[in-house]
Structure 1
Amino acid sequence: MKVVVIGGTGLIGSKVVAKLKEHGHEAVPAAPNTGVNTLTGEGLAEVLKDASVVVDVSNSPSFADDAVMEFFRTSTTNVLHAEADAGVSHHVALSIVGTDRLPENGYFRAKVAQEELIKASGIAYSIVHATQFFEFVTGIADSATEGDTVRVPDAKIQPMYSDDVATAVAGAAMDAPLDGVVEIAGPEAFSFDEFIRTGLAAGNDPRTVVVDQHAQYFGSELEENSLLPGPGAHLAETRFADWLAQRK
């Protein structure tokens, strides 16, 4: 089976390509550096020829509100139109747990718009909602840092390893379309401050982590469970402590 992975040279995409190949599928990475530009449509018709499934794990080069909305709307529209022309039978997209709970977050709004385009396309689909990745713990801390202090919300987070994300996305590509959403998450929920503090300590980062009920998460104030998956989520096996240990 030929599977085209949009964003297939990035963190998640490269892992998805490798996992699909391990299962004997023809997995083709599609990204600007492979000659495919979803914003202009360049290379899409060629790469989708004879493809059965498209996996979209692409991301916007800019996270500014207008730019990220333009990226996901334009890119997704172009990909879906090209899929219809090529006869692709299954569209798989990676999105985020909690997208519909934080409307003031520009990135989440853009992901909601992307999902709406997919659902309205007429192409069978599976949308995978993942929680935050372990790999982004320092980046999250950086976004919340004032001086030597990291101010984090009074909320919970249930992060996961990017390799487990890729396993779930590759599995969705190999399975029958859901025409719906599946949630995936790490095996443990943490208080936000515990997650950040543990991640920084593992890197000998001296910043102080404090809880601030008004601290924002990329522009959004969080409720306790805003970023947590529902009770039916599929939980990955890799624990945060084990991931930190293997990085040493």
Structure 2
Amino acid sequence: MDWGSLIGVALALAGVLSAHMLDGGRIGSLLQPAAFTIVFIGTLGAVLLQTRLPVFIRGIRMLRWVFKPPQDNRQALARDINLWSHAARREGFLSLETYMRSNRDPFTVKGLRLIIDGIDPIKLREILEAETYAFEVEQRQAVKIWEAAGGYSPTIGILGAVLGLIHVMENLSDPTKLGGGIAVAFVATIYGVGFANLIFLPVSNRLKSIVTQAISQQEMITEALLAIATGENPRVIEERLAAYLR
């Protein structure tokens, strides 16, 4: 569990609510179902309109990474690669089959299998780089739903404010209905800007950093496997991996 993310969400909400209460406001005045419906459902619809459904679902599932990010295995991976390089140098590429069977990462398994099959190193690089590119495109498309939501949300909040003011203008003859319309107008703007800057955009940026780390790990694997395939000295491979670990 990433406690920093949880603390960040709590601080962001506490800061807004505390400032509201210090000015004499009530928490209840910020709870406007109509404003929430306009902003949240409107933003959801806009994002779905620009995104294919499988990509949208993948992006929603990635939300859990904000609070429970994938484990950074680069240190352990570097130790494994050191074992692979020594085994390949002493016993040949067929000795990597044992490590391939015990590995659970599909990308790594594919690379080890290609080495065992004796594929040309140039072709090995092409295949693994194509896999990395496809992975990057897939992940970044999913992350973009949060960035898109951060762009649409404030504008839809303004749309909610205009709708609230229209409601006010329609009921100028009935003062009892003016307060509700004005409240929806202002709270919709708060929801739009708040969702964008406290949730959607921070989530987008956090997921981008996680995806970048995953891509870096695949690039690290690619360089290591290529070095093993070309018969480089394990010491040289170890020094090369140090750059990725830094």
Q: Which has the higher strand share?
A: 1
Q: Which has the higher helix share?
A: 2
